[in-house]
Amino acid sequence: MNYKQCLMVKNGMYQISWLPERFAKTGKFLKLKEDDGWEVKEVYGPELDEAIVNERSRDYRKQREASDI
């Protein structure tokens, strides 16, 4: 399954998330877990395979160790 990164909005709040390609459609409203009403505002490319998205999903945890902050 391929994923695309999307900008979603709900009540003035913004969230960027990786969505399965079939849901990554501009203007589509999504229900995420118990939270419904997110609208896909923008879809960014390129699409990535699920394995790559999962592999990269925790990269932020190593950022602090690699930076000088």
Q: State the pTM of this model.
A: 0.72
DSSP for 15-66, written as a single string: EEEEEEGGG--TT-EEEETTEEEEEEEEEEEEEEEHHHHHHHTTTHHHHHHH
Domain span at 27? 2-66
Task: Report the number of distinct structural domains present in the chain.
Answer: 1
pLDDT digits (tens, 9 = 90+) for 10-21: 999 999 989 999
pLDDT digits (tens, 9 = 90+) for 19-48: 999 999 999 999 877 777 899 999 998 888
